[in-house]
Structure formats: C-alpha cells, structure tokens
Amino acid sequence: MATKLSERLAPWLALVVLLLIWEGVCRGFSLPSFVLPSPSAIVTAAMRLGPGVWLDHTWATLRVTLMGYGLSILIGVPLAIALASSKLLSRTLYPLLVIVQSTPIVAVAPIIVVVMGAGDLPRVFITFLIAFFPIVVSTVTGLLATPGELIELSRSLGASRSREYRNIRLPFAIPHLFSALRISITLAVIGAVVAEFVAAEKGLGYFINFSTSMFQVPQAFAALLLLVVISLVLFHLVGLLQKLLFPWSLPKGEH
C-alpha cells in the first residue's frame, strides 16, 4: 500500500521540487522576467489577465484543435481501410503521404493561409495535416496485423469483404487506432498553435506570439503551461474513451 502511494506521489513531488528549484534560481540570480520568469511571476501574470481573457483564447485554440482532429479521423480511417484493401492504392498513395508528412508544416503554413484566406479553414487544414498521418499509418498496421487464419476462415464461411473488415480486421486494429489517436490529439494542439503563429486574432498560439513581441514573457509562459494542460487533458480523455467503449482492447493491467 505504501509503495503504491509513493509511486503515485513521486511525480507530483518531483514537480514541486522542480518548481522550487526554478523559483530559487530566478530569485538567487536575480534573473529578469523577460529572460526567465519565476513560477510566482507566471502565476501573477496569469491572474492579472483574468479568466475571461484565458477562456477566450483557450476556446479559440480548442475549437480549431478539435475540428482539425475530427477531420483527421474522418479522412484518416477510411483512407487507411482503402490502403489496406488495395496494394496498388497503397503503392500509389503511401509515398505521397510520406512526402506530405515530411514537408515542414511551419514552412507551408503561410502558403496555406494565402491560398485559403483568413478564418478557421486554413488553421483547421494545417491542424489536419499534422494530425492525420499517425492515424493512417497505425490503422493500416492494425488492419494488416489481423491473423491470416481468421481471414481464411471468414472467407471459407462466405463472409463478404465489408463484413471481414467490420467484424475481424477493425476490431484487431482498435488498439493501434487508439494509440494513434492519443498521439494525434497532442499533434493537433501543436498544429493549431502553429497555425495561430501564422495568422490568427485569437488563440493561445497568437497570445504567445503577441506576448513575446511585447516582452511579456511571464504571460507567454502562462499560455504555454495552459497548452500543456490542454494536451494532457485531451490525451487522457482519448484514453478514457477507449476504456469506456473498447475495454477489451486495453492491456491487461489497464482494464
């Protein structure tokens, strides 16, 4: 019992120690806040702005994140099924997907904004580009990892191709899919922030860019920490969704 309690408390104690060291270094060396703000200065800056400002920017980022993430699922999963179903399609499209993923989004983002114009559309598209690739790759891997004997058995019983995917391949792909969904939700947050760096009037990415340009580094750190919290919460929500909907797909220790 004591061992389990210490294991749970250890990360929090490590975080507290890190914050104390951070605070001590900033105070001991009298570091200016525009170089490295102390935790207390970050909290003070965050409280000075008030909850209204934070909610406004948080919702702007969260909206784009969820829209881009949802689009990556809607396109990524059917595309993965298509790639797993056809070797010709896989050989044709997979190299193109790798090229798209290998292209630095930071460099392409300004072009996307110019082509698509202002508004949420270019930001959602940038978020989608960053988030969809892991979903496609992991889902294809899961679909193709289905034991061959099960596929042969289903075909010998006259199962259709759609039924094969629905009842056999997709269940085997669920653990791979949710592993990708956990990764992609954090990437979606990154995509939304990158898009806000390029063109936005609201959002935590825009706020960080604006704050650093005005040398208001403590409030920029506060926005950064809020982004970390959002990413962690969304990551755990995806895990909770898997636990509620597909508990059988979890490792034995996580049921």
The answer as to whether 13 is a domain residue is: no
pLDDT of residue 79: 94
pLDDT in tens, the chain (255 residues): 556 666 677 778 888 899 899 989 898 888 888 888 999 999 999 999 888 899 999 999 999 999 999 999 999 999 999 999 888 888 989 888 888 888 888 888 888 888 887 788 999 999 999 999 999 999 999 998 887 777 777 777 666 777 777 778 888 899 999 999 999 999 999 999 999 998 888 999 999 999 998 889 999 999 999 999 999 999 999 999 999 998 888 876 565
pLDDT of residue 154: 74
The answer as to whether 180 is a domain residue is: yes
pLDDT of residue 253: 59
Burial label, 126 (beta-carbon count in 10 A; 0-12, 13-18, 19+):
buried
3-state secondary structure of 95: helix
Question: Residue 119 sits in which domain range?
Answer: 53-250
Q: Is the dihedral of CA 186, 191, 197, 200 positive or negative?
A: negative
CATH number for position 110: 1.10.3720.10
CA distances (Å), 57 to each of 20, 26, 45, 68, 97, in order? 29, 28, 15, 17, 32
pLDDT of residue 139: 93
Can you give the C-alpha Rg of the chain in angstroms? 22
* Model confidence, pTM: 0.89
The answer as to whether 134 is a domain residue is: yes
The answer as to whether 220 is a domain residue is: yes
The total of structural domains in the chain comes to 1
The answer as to whether 242 is a domain residue is: yes
Q: Is the dihedral of CA 47, 228, 220, 130 positive or negative?
A: negative
The answer as to whether 42 is a domain residue is: no
Long-range contact pairs involving 227-234 (C-beta distance under 8 Å, separation at least 24): 227/61, 227/189, 227/193, 230/58, 230/61, 230/62, 230/65, 230/189, 230/204, 231/185, 231/186, 231/189, 234/65, 234/185, 234/186, 234/188, 234/189
List the structure tokens of 170. Answer: 């997709």
